Amino acid sequence: MEKFITLTDTAVPLEIENVDTDQIIPARFLKATDKSGFGENLFRDWRFDSNDEPNPEFALNKSEYKGAILVAGDNFGCGSSREHAAWAIKAYGFKVVVSSYFADIFKGNALNNGLLPVQVSPKFLELLFIEITKDPSVEIKVDLEAQEISIPKKDISESFDIDPYKKTCMINGFDDIDFLVSKLDAIKEFETKRSQKLQATKPL
């Protein structure tokens, strides 16, 4: 997994609440069997109209908005568990998603793919939207080590929470598979110790 330590970049404002994973990547694009190519279909039905023409009103199509930080409305990533949503956002070029709330499964998927979800207060989110729309070239700094998001030019900042284990993984580029495989002996021991009565562990 790609490491994430700190990032300073401009941002794209997506002022929509409850962005679900069906909007991030519609189901008809889930037929692939590898992880490539999802970026071009990110927000497909918002980015393009029914004739495949770009929708000029959609934030990602506005030339003034660029950068690797996506700032989105409350409850981002709700709905389907499709990890394709995190792959699509990452493949499009984003490295951070900021929102006042993330759906559980999306948050986990993002962290497992080196895409940092930064949860801020609704007030700070509002402030970000105001500053970005006022000046699209304004830079936002995300410092994972310090767990702080800021607009250096404006001297505005807020700290954010992240699971300490996940933070270590992101900073070092570790992932859960390596960790779990290192624990296989403990897992086998757990299996043996469990009550034999429990049908659950018997194979089908």
Shortest Cβ distance from residue 152 to other proteins (Å)?
A: 29
As a residue count, the chain comes to 204
69 and 10 Cβ atoms separated by less than 8 Å:
yes
Q: How many CA atoms lie within 13 A of 178 on its CB side?
A: 7
Handedness of CA 159, 164, 165, 168 (dihedral sign): positive
Shortest Cβ distance from residue 107 to other proteins (Å)?
A: 9
Strand, coil or helix: 113: coil
Shortest Cβ distance from residue 18 to other proteins (Å)?
A: 5
Contacts to other proteins by CB under 8 A: 15-18, 20, 22-23, 26-28, 30-35, 45, 50, 73-75, 78-84, 86, 101-105, 108-109, 112-113, 163-165, 175-177, 179-181, 183-184, 186-187, 190-191, 195, 197-204
Distances (CA, A) of 40 to 29, 36, 37, 86, 177: 10, 10, 6, 13, 28
Q: Is the CB of 34 or the CB of 155 nearer to other proteins?
A: 34
Shortest Cβ distance from residue 47 to other proteins (Å)?
A: 13
* Cα–Cα distance, 127 to 114 (Å, whole number): 26
Q: Is the CB of 55 or the CB of 112 nearer to other proteins?
A: 112
Q: Is the CB of 67 or the CB of 160 nearer to other proteins?
A: 160
Q: Is the CB of 134 or the CB of 202 nearer to other proteins?
A: 202
Closest CA to 137 of 64, 60, 58: 64
* Cα–Cα distance, 87 to 12 (Å, whole number): 18
Shortest Cβ distance from residue 85 to other proteins (Å)?
A: 9
* Cα–Cα distance, 196 to 42 (Å, whole number): 48
Shortest Cβ distance from residue 155 to other proteins (Å)?
A: 29
Q: Is the CB of 130 or the CB of 177 nearer to other proteins?
A: 177
Q: Is the CB of 152 or the CB of 173 nearer to other proteins?
A: 173
74 and 101 Cβ atoms separated by less than 8 Å:
yes
